[in-house]
Amino acid sequence: MPSAKSILLICAFALTVMAPAGATDPRFIASLGKLDPQTRLEQICDLAAVKHIGKSGKLPKPDRAKSNVITPPRHHGDTIVANGGAFRSGGKWYAFSFKCKGSPDHLDVLSFTYRVGAMIPKSKWPEYGLWD
């Protein structure tokens, strides 16, 4: 009879292999519950940015997005308006803005719109806390 640890490892592997593309890691969602509500909303909206921008097909799929790079986002209840964000795509950082409405618990995104701006020159990366 397999041990409980073996069963857990098999289940974890099966979930990883069978999860649909773009599925959110349950560990990430669980960790969100430990954050204050504003930070939790920013994190879930940053994740939405990666997903939405990646679907456009205009740039390589982003691997990172931050809502607070150039200017801090503005919070309005369950909504964030970020005019100074940045995302990394194909090893380059781009400015972008977005409006993101989250669920009351800030664990789901209900609506998301965005606009991609200019590529951020590498000389500005240190000033904005960006990296390769």
CATH code at position 67: 3.10.450
The verdict on residue 26 lying in a domain is no
Domain count, the chain: 1
Q: Is residue 10 part of a domain?
A: no
Question: C-alpha distances in angstroms, 93 versus 20, 24, 49, 105, 107?
Answer: 27, 23, 13, 30, 26
Boundaries of domain holding 77: 36-128
What pTM value is reported for the model?
0.77
Domain presence at residue 18: no
Rg (CA), the chain: 17
Q: 114 lies in a domain? A: yes
Confidence (pLDDT) at 97: 97
Per DSSP, the three-state class of 127 is helix
pLDDT (0 to 100) of residue 1: 42
Residue 30 lies in a domain: no
**101 in a structural domain:** yes
**In this model, does residue 17 exceed pLDDT 80?**
no
